[in-house]
């Protein structure tokens, strides 16, 4: 299975357009959005090209191929603009040998793990900092932020291709972090 991950779009139209272009090129089956889709939130500056209504329009063009979770900056009002469900606090994707537990990161996180089995993957956003590693028996994966990167990292997104989870820089496609799950 091939999945693309985007987190913390925060209403940035240029970031959304880039993500959708890369999604089309990637041949991924699903675009997984890890929350904070339309709004920038009170702690973040306005991202480049802040245009939440246009972001919703763009994402709605691939609504049937999106799996999304709600972030701490998302609200029920946002759902009114989006044609895909995004108010669930978490989702799961079942792979042959493990499960991906999808969450934004403000409810479940590396510091507050849900019940996971050995080999499962916690997939989250929220921190805007890329992570791809195994901690104990659980894999941790954060694709960073496509619009407001933090920690000195570039804007980034994630890919699952076969058993490899990669965080990739949005602009130059360089791999920032990578881990192989259940080799």
In the chain, what are the domain boundaries? 2-180
Residue 46: band (very low, low, confident or very high) from pLDDT cuts 50, 70, 90? confident
Q: Is 41 exposed, middle or buried (0-12, 13-18, 19+ CB in 10 A)?
A: middle
Distances in whole angstroms, Cα of residue 36 to Cα of each of 106, 133, 179: 11, 23, 25
Report whether pLDDT(183) > 70: no
DSSP assignment of 88-115 equals -SEEEEE-SS-EEEEE-SSSSBTTB--S
What tokens were used for 30? 């699903």
- Average of per-residue pLDDT across 92-115: 97
- In this prediction, residue 45 carries a pLDDT of 81
Fold of 2-180: Purple Acid Phosphatase; chain A, domain 2 (3.60.21)
The Cα–Cα gap between 175 and 167 comes to 6
Give 109's strand partners: 112
Contact 121, 139 (CB under 8 A): yes
């Amino acid at each position: 299975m091939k999945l693309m991950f985007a987190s913390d779009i925060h209403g940035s139209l240029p970031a959304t357009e880039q993500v959708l272009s890369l999604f089309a090129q990637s041949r991924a089956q699903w675009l997984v959005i890890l929350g904070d889709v339309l709004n920038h939130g009170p702690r973040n500056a306005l991202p480049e090209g802040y245009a939440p209504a246009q972001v919703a329009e763009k994402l709605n063009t691939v609504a049937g191929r999106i799996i999304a979770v709600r972030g701490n900056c998302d609200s029920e009002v946002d759902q009114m603009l989006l044609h895909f469900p995004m108010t669930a606090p978490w989702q799961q994707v079942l792979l042959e040998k493990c499960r991906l537990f999808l969450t934004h990161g403000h409810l479940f996180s590396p510091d507050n793990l849900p019940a996971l089995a050995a080999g499962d993957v916690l997939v989250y956003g929220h921190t805007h900092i890329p992570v791809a590693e195994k901690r104990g028996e659980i894999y941790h994966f954060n694709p960073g932020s496509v619009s407001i990167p933090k920690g000195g990292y570039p804007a980034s997104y994630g890919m699952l291709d076969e058993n490899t989870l990669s965080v990739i820089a949005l602009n130059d496609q360089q791999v920032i972090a990578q881990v192989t799950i259940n080799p």
